[in-house]
A and B are shown apart, each in its own frame.
Chain A
Amino acid sequence: MSTAPPPFSMNHEQAQRLVSYIQTYRRYAWEYQAPSRERNELIRLLQTVQGKLMSSMDQRNEYIWLPLAVAETAALQTMVNDLFALYGMEPASDDRNRTIADLILLKNYLKRTLACR
């Protein structure tokens, strides 16, 4: 039996960056991936996570606790893997370094979360 992973906690700035990664990924998927059931399901899950995140950010609390369903966690994991490949091709820059660092953190969190299901 699968249970929901523990809520994902982050500060406002991290949440803002996660929103921007999700948006970047959705743009990429629409532009470069042909429509398919799998692509569309992934886009929908990420859109749901983005909605939860932005709505939590409106509460203006210092920390944001984001409850994620198992499917949403898996969707974020797919996104992170694809973003690694995309950002990996970019020329070296501070921005790229920060993004890669964020993605490593996110990947580790998601891995731990999925492992403790």
Chain B
Amino acid sequence: MMFFNRLFHRKSRMPAILVSSPGAENEIVDDRRRLTDAPYFLPKDEEEDGRLFLQHKALYAAMGNHYLAPIRPDIANILDVGTGTGVWPVDMSRLFPQAHIVGMDISSLSFRYSSSSACTFLCGNVLTGLPFPDQQFDFVHQRLLVAGIPTANWPGVIRELVRVTRPGGWVELLEVGITVKNAGPETTRLLTWMANRSRERGFDLGILPELGDLLVHAGLQAVETQNIPAPLGEWAGRVGAMLKTDVLSAFHAVKGVYCTQANLPPDQFDAWVKIVAEEWEQRRASYVFHAAYGKRAPTK
């Protein structure tokens, strides 16, 4: 009885995969819980999960939907690579009630939903190959995994995404780099500094505006690339305020790692970020998201 009570009370917070391994190893590094046997360097803790939920809401408000590709309303199978908390599959299952949606992440630490008849959550690593046969999904979605895919791995990752997509199905990528519209000098300086720290770790953010080219190279058709500016700051009301909180929280999430790397005192980083956030308000800045989607050729 106690077990059922516990199960009931913890339902929404319970990791979906109770019987399998939680995936990648993790430990506290630079004050936050992080994965230790994977390149992904953002934290895997409750604070980060809160940021991921906020980011999900902010993106929906800024872009108008949870996806951008013109997929059919009657699709049957959807895959979300790097699902994090799992909120994307859960919200997509409301838009596509007939579809089965798989949310995959390298670690189950962030899963905040249980698997159901509509959504299945599982652990897998796109860098070492997706655990699915060829041509399994009508729509394969991956977003904001820039901190998990070293530059050299991008072509291989996209080949994997295409491999598991059915003929006529769509692959969609959404990433954020270092492009800010109406950026002030301190914003530009901070983002350049962060991009350099990322490059030292094997992540070249310069690849992000070229995602569409990678999809074309992988053989996809009808490839669209879109740079979507999302307002950053309270100057733009609720949407801008949400995104500002999300981006500041993301900066906080990488602070420990980057400051250790560059030997910069964390309080100096905090002061810098404060100046940068003021610039966003003064200059009415927008963060630019890089989206690309393409279709696998239908069978003849």
Contacts and interface: CB of A to CB of B under 8 A. Distances in A.
Nearest to B63: A30
A40 interface: yes
B226 A27 contact: yes
Contact of A51 (B62, B70, B224, B226): B70
Contacts of B69: 51
A54 B222 CA distance: 10
Contacts of B72: 51-52, 55
Contacts of A40: 61, 63-65
A58 interface: yes
Contacts of A58: 168, 298
B17 to A, nearest CB: 32
Interface residues of A, number: 22
B259 to A, nearest CB: 33
B230 interface: yes
Contacts of B295: 54
B284 to A, nearest CB: 11
A113 interface: no
B229 interface: yes
A34 B236 contact: yes
Contacts, number: 53
Max count, chain B CB within 10 A of own CB: residue among A26, A30, A43, A47: A30
Contacts of B239: 35
Interface in A10-54: 19, 23, 26-27, 30-31, 34-35, 39-41, 43-44, 47-48, 50-54
How many residues of B sit at the interface, in one of the four size bands?
Answer: 20 to 34
B86 to A, nearest CB: 22
A35 B73 contact: no
A87 to B, nearest CB: 20
B298 A44 contact: no
A48 B73 CA distance: 7
A43 B230 contact: no
Interface of B: 61-65, 68-73, 168, 222, 224, 226-231, 236, 239, 295, 298
15 contacts: A27-B226, A30-B228, A31-B228, A35-B230, A40-B61, A44-B64, A47-B65, A47-B70, A48-B70, A48-B73, A51-B71, A51-B73, A55-B72, A55-B168, A58-B298
Given A19-B70, A53-B70, A55-B168, 16 more contacts: A26-B226, A31-B227, A31-B229, A35-B62, A35-B63, A35-B239, A40-B64, A40-B65, A41-B64, A43-B64, A44-B65, A47-B68, A50-B70, A52-B73, A54-B70, A58-B168
